[in-house]
Structure 1
Amino acid sequence: MYRPIATIAAGLALLIAGPALAQANPEEAGVRKALEHYLAGHATGDPKAFRQSFHDEARLQWIREGQYATRSDDEYVAGASGKPPADEAQRKRSIESIDITGTAASAKIVLDYPTVVFTDYMHLLKTQDGWKIVNKTFHAQPKAKQ
């Protein structure tokens, strides 16, 4: 009696999960690679890692003290120290989501640092050189002092 029920349950699970599994985007690995270069840049301070992630004409935009701020990828990469942050062991980074349509993608990244949590929204395009971040907007949420 349990065997037919288990068989039916397994069949229903495949019917429900099958389409979702089949829809995994083959471009996700390329998008993830660009994002992982970005994360490696944060972890190591290596400007080359950042360079591998950003398009040459990428822009970064955010609100600082209520005012719109922007900088080029060159300005951003110039701030890379070339060495890991002193508190690297306390820093956590994760790719929260990736959404891809054709040659365009969006991703959400969370950088959880000891004193602040950054939420980065990346927009990427598939170029002749692969997937590249063309725009980064972010929010910095300071943590409460303990």
Structure 2
Amino acid sequence: MMRHYLALSAIVVLSCCFNALGQAGSDEASVRETVNHYLHGLKFNDVESLKKAFHPDAKLIFVKRDGQLGTLSQEQWYKGFASSAGQEEKGDLQIASVDITGGAASVKVVEVYDKTKYTDYLSLLKFDGRWQIVNKIYVVERR
């Protein structure tokens, strides 16, 4: 009787662990899918791909050349893509790291171009069943 109880307990514990691992893997795949929309939008100047990745109220925050804090709304940022829509940018864009806790995620993205390197830190939240970027902070390094 005791062996059956222990075996049943082990099965319950293992199934909970595998379920949690499966959910974590599913969340990571979904986070990466969202960030890949973002990367595609950057690479091809595609505002529609960017809109798939970002929540409409998301902000972009950065330090301006004069050392002051700068912010952009999505609409302000999208206007910068209008003149080069559909054109492919020459550069290497990669997801450097993904960290997920529950319904929150942080993703580091590195974009290397001829004369600049951008490092983005994206904050994502899961709501209404999907992951969206709600905040982006970034730095630019001249090369």
Give the TM-score of the pair, scaled to structure 1. Answer: 0.77
- Flag the structure with higher helix content: 2
In 1: Cα distance, 2:129 partner to 2:46 partner: 20
Which residue of 1 is the match for residue 7 of structure 2?
A: none
In 2: Cα distance, 1:129 partner to 1:59 partner: 21
SS in 1 for 2:40: helix
> CA offsets, 1:90-125, max 9 Å, x none?
410000000000110000000000000000000000
**Offset at 1:75?**
1.3
SS in 2 for 1:31: helix
Distance 1:59-1:92 versus aligned 2 partners, 3 A rule: same
In 1: Cα distance, 2:111 partner to 2:85 partner: 19
Which residue of 1 is the match for residue 87 of structure 2?
A: 84
Unaligned ranges ≥5, structure 1 = 1-18
Unaligned ranges ≥5, structure 2 = 1-16
Aligned-pair identity (%): 37
- Given the alignment of the two structures, is residue 70 of structure 1 paired with residue 63 of structure 2, yes or no? no
Which residue of 1 is the match for residue 128 of structure 2?
A: 128
CA RMSD, aligned part only?
A: 1.7
- Write out aligned runs for 1:1-146 (5 A): 23=21, 25-26=24-25, 27-65=27-65, 66-80=67-81, 81-85=84-88, 88=89, 90-128=90-128, 130-143=130-143
Which residue of 1 is the match for residue 14 of structure 2?
A: none
> CA offsets, 1:3-55, max 9 Å, x none?
xxxxxxxxxxxxxxxx9xx8572200110011000000011111100000000
In 1: Cα distance, 2:118 partner to 2:40 partner: 16
Distance 1:33-1:71 versus aligned 2 partners, 3 A rule: same
